[in-house]
Chain A
Amino acid sequence: MNNLFSIFFALAIANNFILVKFLGLCPFFGVSKKLSNAISMGAAVTFVMVLASFATSIIYHYIFVPYGIEFMNIVIYILVIASLVQIVELIIKRTNIRLYNALGIYLPLITTNCAVLGVTLINTQEQYTILESIVSAVGGGVGFTLVLIIMSGIRERLELCDCPKAMKGLPIAFITAAILSLSFIGISSLM
């Protein structure tokens, strides 16, 4: 149990995907302009991460390890994640149109997100069991959502602030992200 907690917090905060591992940076800047968008994007990423981790760790433990072909993991993981997202999108679209509208463009966007591929590769690298993989995916997703929410909250206020013209928009957002990243790396050195 203790082990699971430490995996969760390691991926959520100390080894945060965005600010410490620098994965999934395009949604970080693309979708962090509004708080509501950030929350739905975070939820969608968490959902896909958990599903992808589950599927890939099953494939890893029951196909790759017995046949000794662990080196093929990247190719297979991309394939599995892409088809998984397609299936999930199909199911949501046909059964719950409201949820489909709420998730909107974010679900297909995540198909090739590097944070999703990253979490599955970390699971393989760290030799996590299936349960541990799911917990690490939840941790990664929560960390991703947390950073997106923090950043969008800051950026909503940055829109109103009086900063030099050359720094308006993305430049000031990059600087903010750098300072945020420093603080998260600081946490990781404490642990």
Chain B
Amino acid sequence: MLVVIVILTAIGVVCGIIIYVVNRVLPPEDEALKKTEEISNCLPGMNCGACGYPGCFAYAQALAKNPELISESTCATVLQNQEMLEGLGSALGIKLNPSIGKKALVYCTGDTRVLGDYSGAKSCKAASRYVGGTKKCPYGCLGFGDCVEVCPEGAIHMDKERNIAVIDPEKCNGCGLCVKECPKNIIKLVPANTKIAFLCSYDSLKDIPGREKCDRGCIHCRKCYKACEYEAIVWNKEKAIPEFDIEKCTLCGACVKACPQNTLTEFSNILRKVPV
């Protein structure tokens, strides 16, 4: 009996001592590695690759080297979750707010005329290969909803009346899958704190007059540029379209009112149907 107790205790103690010795003898954990692990614990860990790195751990390694990187390529899932965002911010030693993210925006109002009946495959890709699409404007949303299918967040829905894809900025996580999917390249990623949305993909470098093709397209009248009192709109002379300075914009709404085509709208208002 005594032998059993002694041997059991001895083996237990020996195991404990071995673990202790191994722990002391081995080189201590690298400082950089510790930080990388701390950061990687704040990440979702599903290795989606939307940040542009092969997996969450590689992303954490890059962030540990250069925390500033967060503003260039932000983890879309973390942005959605306030708790995770704060955790990542404290791991990096930077204060993060949700506005560093990106949102997808469809650069089209969808009011271009339909050319005629189309009975081919119900897919934007197929239609755009065929005759460049069913809309009069070659830069218009085709409305078959290829982007709806790829959205992992279910943030995109088709507006039946206007026959156009609308992206909910609240749900969008800025992953950019729809940007790649759109055969017309009219979905772009914009900063999450964008104030005014310019809903037209046509510019002067493209060789069709906007007015002929679409009731709502930009006609390059510069009224928005003149209406802005805060110099928040810069006129791009080459493309003849307005460009917006988020810092200076006060969201006074003067440009939205001034636009004769209703091409402009408040970004927060994007889901509601804009009056024609």
Residues of A within 8 A of B (CB): 59, 63, 67, 69, 72, 75-76, 79-80, 83, 86-87, 90-91, 93-95, 97, 101
Contact = CB atoms under 8 A, between A and B. Distances in A.
B121 interface: no
Given A63-B7, A67-B7, A90 B33 contact: no
A69 B29 contact: no
A59 B22 CA distance: 20
Contacts of B16: 83
A75 B8 contact: yes
Nearest to B4: A69
Contacts of B27: 94
Given A90-B23, A94-B26, A83 B15 contact: yes
B152 interface: no
A93 B37 CA distance: 12
Q: What is the predominant secondary structure among interface residues of chain B facing chain A?
A: helix
Contacts, number: 41
Given A86-B19, A90-B22, A72 B8 contact: yes
Nearest to B27: A94
Interface of B: 3-4, 7-8, 11-12, 15-16, 18-19, 22-23, 26-29, 33, 57
B3 A67 contact: yes
Q: What is the predominant secondary structure among interface residues of chain A facing chain B?
A: helix
Nearest to A80: B15
Contacts of A67: 3, 7
Contact of A91 (B3, B15, B26): B26
Given A67-B7, A72-B4, A94 B29 contact: yes
A80 B19 CA distance: 11
Contacts of A93: 29
A83 to B, nearest CB: 4
Contact of B18 (A59, A83, A95, A97): A83
Given A76-B8, A90-B23, 12 more contacts: A63-B7, A69-B3, A72-B8, A80-B11, A80-B15, A83-B19, A87-B22, A90-B26, A93-B29, A94-B28, A97-B33, A101-B57
A87 to B, nearest CB: 5
Given A69-B3, A101-B57, A90 B8 contact: no
B106 to A, nearest CB: 33
Nearest to A101: B57
